[in-house]
Structure 1
Amino acid sequence: MGEDGASTFTVDDTLLHMGFGKFQILVLAYAGMGWVSEAMEMMFLSFIGPAVQALWGLTYHQEGLITSVVFLGMLVGAYTWGVVSDKYGRRKGFLITAVVTSGAGFLSALSPNYISLIIFRCLVGLGLDGGPVLCSWFLEFIPAPSRGTWMVIFQAFWTFGTVSEASLAWFVMPRLGWRWLLVLSAIPSSVLLVFYVFAPESPRYLCLEGRKEETLAVLEKIARMNGAKLPSGILVSENEIELAEKSVPTEDTQLLQSEENGYETRRRHLIAVAPSFTRISSVNHALMDGILWKCIFILWTCITDNGVAQWT
């Protein structure tokens, strides 16, 4: 409840209230283009090695290094872009990755020698592992109960990207060569830059950062496009609710004899802490939880096994 008795709502409450609509479809198309771009750049690794080996007379070890440096760049980017997107926003995170990926992709096509190609492909790998930022950004616009379903649907863009790259290579390589294939493969990431101005920041990120006015502006835009209305009441973040619940004095709690009094105490405390609440790094704290670490380890294992199976 708000200061004057009004109800409160969170970003997740709002997304659930408005449902999936036109706005989410546009966000899916934008984020999906980034996933297509990543798939195409990864699939390209299967075609560039033999072509460059024949052109520059490379050894098999040198040819293999063209692929290896991409994964080296991804190893660095996997952590880097997560930190960037958490600190500066999802929007800035995938902007930088799109600039790096598209820029390095076009420069790869202009590589005059083997060393320059290695450097540019490593930079492509650095940008490629920003792809999960787009996935997270998209899912933060989806109502919580539907996120699992839409995450699976989102993966279809990867399949589309790999099929597109294989088809493109079949048509372009014999006629125009590998340099033109590089140029065409970098176009999807460039599309992200063209439409970047229309991409909103994640309302969840904005709310956790305490930027309530910007959060409401994004939520109102979603409501207009989906033909819905915002819930009535005051917007609060999950962190504010959690902080309020954890900060209720134990002595007072023991004195409460009814559910109504307990709820009223929590409401008043939430009102007291909400104005001074600015930023709480709950994400980093949550990641230290043992259960989450187990899940992360399992995911790492699955992704590693999938990579080994795909590239051996």
Structure 2
Amino acid sequence: MEEGRMSILGGALVTFVAGLLSAFSPNYISLLILRGLAGAGLGSGHVFFSWFMEFVPPSNRGKWMVVFSTFWTFGSVSEAALAWIVMPILTWRWLLALSAIPAFVLLIFIVFMPESPRYLCTKGRITDAHNILDKIAQFNQTSLPSGNLTSDGTNDLDEEFSTSEETPLLSSARKRTTVRKSGFSSFLMLFSPRFFKTTILLWVLYFGNSFVYYGIVLLASELSGSQSKCSSSILLSENVQDASVYINVFITSFAELPGLLTAALLVDRVGRKLSMTIMFIFVCIFLLPLVTLQSNILLTALLSGARMFSMGTFIIANIFAPEIYPTSMRSTGAGVAYAVGRIGGMVCPLVAVGLVTSCHQTAAILLLEALIVLSVVVILLIPFETKGKELVNTIDGVSNSKQVLVVA
């Protein structure tokens, strides 16, 4: 198993084991611990974005990354449908056990994942990178064009690959590449003068984005059928068997699909920053009427619209962050930003949802609106736009803008 896939394997294993064991939790404390471990395992999910991104050409990279992200939405819709079916007739234990199955499926199929050729080049493994590209070409019933497999690195190769003119891809023109920095070194580089400002801005963006997105997700169930009563958290437990809760969550989950379509149409046309700004504005518009009590139908419609555009900003941010960093620190940079975003997701139930359950719905919505405004300001301050830009392998490649993995 390649190093690039080990984090995915480990995350899937932790998620599956902890998710399954949580269905058998004997008490509340053990349930919290196991669900926390399952969530920690999900943290490896950001690697999928960096991995898939390195196979896609820059001209339509944004569109294909959005298409790739639709499977997140399919998972959300499937989970909402599963809860709708299981909870009224069985118990939450069945829901948790069944929800662990996808992680088990991932453990089976991960062995079929090819390593990123770009990543292999940064490790100096030109032969392996060539072999994977050749397999991809064969699968697509085509052949690789003649040319050089190059990297913008500067260190000696661990191995060389040389071919004759008859073979489709030649060795690196420089016969040099960069050995990937250790995880700790990559982490420290996030705070170098070249990346410090962008790193901090991305962290704020991810925090605000996750807070708003998960706030909308949680409010779909928290506000459902409860606004007229406006009581404490007991209200949610009283309505847990009410099918309308699961129906509303199911509908709002489906709303992510048109949001992804909108993101796909915008991201490669107007750029990442403007796309996120436009979609954040629409999230703000849909949330604003919720400062006052609304009917259940209007509530569902407004939350669906807000979730539609919030998912778009969420996914574009997940495209934007890996594009900013070079391959040598791409997973680290995007992963740390993703982790900071998870903090926003953790704080949200304690703050925004807590305000709703304590009969402060207006304050909760205004808090979400404030974070949207902050996120838009942060987007405007980020000094990069990555639309149509080639990914780079090394830190030096960020400044000299040299193309990598070039076939010429």
Structure 1 length-normalised TM? 0.56
Any unmatched runs of 5+ in structure 1? 1-87, 245-269
Identity within the alignment, %: 47
> 4+ runs of 1 displaced by more than 4 Å?
282-287
Contact 2:15 2:42 in 1 (8 A): yes
- More helix by proportion, 1 or 2? 1
Aligned 1:102-117 pairs, distance under 5 A:
102-117=16-31
> Does the alignment pair 1:95 with 2:9?
yes
1:293 to 199, 205, 209: 199
Give the AA of the match of 1:274. Answer: K
Aligned equivalent of 1:47: none
Contact 1:168 1:181 in 2 (8 A): yes
Contact 1:104 1:120 in 2 (8 A): yes
- Over 3 Å counting, the alpha-carbon distance change for 1:187 and 1:115 in structure 2 is same
Any unmatched runs of 5+ in structure 2? 157-171, 219-352, 354-408
Aligned equivalent of 1:183: 97
How far is the alpha carbon of 1:297 from its aligned partner? 4.0
- Over 3 Å counting, the alpha-carbon distance change for 1:295 and 1:239 in structure 2 is farther
Aligned equivalent of 2:270: none
CA distance in structure 2 between the partners assigned to 1:99 and 1:287 by the alignment: 31
Contact 2:153 2:178 in 1 (8 A): no
Contact 2:121 2:129 in 1 (8 A): yes
RMSD: 2.7
Contact 2:191 2:199 in 1 (8 A): yes
1:172 to 78, 82, 86: 86
Structure 2 length-normalised TM? 0.44
CA distance in structure 1 between the partners assigned to 2:89 and 2:203 by the alignment: 45
How far is the alpha carbon of 1:158 from its aligned partner? 2.1
Aligned equivalent of 1:131: 45
- Residue deviations 1:105-125 (CA, integer Å, cap 9, x gap): 011111122221111111011
How far is the alpha carbon of 1:186 from its aligned partner? 0.9
Aligned equivalent of 1:279: 179
- Over 3 Å counting, the alpha-carbon distance change for 1:280 and 1:160 in structure 2 is closer
Aligned equivalent of 2:69: 155
CA distance in structure 2 between the partners assigned to 1:201 and 1:167 by the alignment: 34
- Over 3 Å counting, the alpha-carbon distance change for 1:203 and 1:287 in structure 2 is farther
1:227 to 135, 141, 144: 141
How far is the alpha carbon of 1:134 from its aligned partner? 1.2
Higher relative contact order (CA 8 A, sep 6+): 1
CA distance in structure 2 between the partners assigned to 1:124 and 1:210 by the alignment: 35
User: The residue matched to 1:195 in structure 2 has which SS?
Assistant: helix
- Over 3 Å counting, the alpha-carbon distance change for 1:203 and 1:131 in structure 2 is same
The count of aligned residue pairs is 196
- Residue deviations 1:63-115 (CA, integer Å, cap 9, x gap): xxxxxxxxxxxxxxxxxxxxxxxxx7331111111111111101111112222
How far is the alpha carbon of 1:170 from its aligned partner? 1.3
- Over 3 Å counting, the alpha-carbon distance change for 1:178 and 1:196 in structure 2 is same
Contact 1:90 1:134 in 2 (8 A): no
- Over 3 Å counting, the alpha-carbon distance change for 1:307 and 1:287 in structure 2 is farther
CA distance in structure 1 between the partners assigned to 2:152 and 2:145 by the alignment: 16
Aligned equivalent of 1:302: 209
How far is the alpha carbon of 1:182 from its aligned partner? 0.8
Contact 2:190 2:199 in 1 (8 A): no
CA distance in structure 1 between the partners assigned to 2:191 and 2:211 by the alignment: 20
- Over 3 Å counting, the alpha-carbon distance change for 1:146 and 1:287 in structure 2 is farther
> Does the alignment pair 1:217 with 2:131?
yes
Aligned equivalent of 1:145: 59
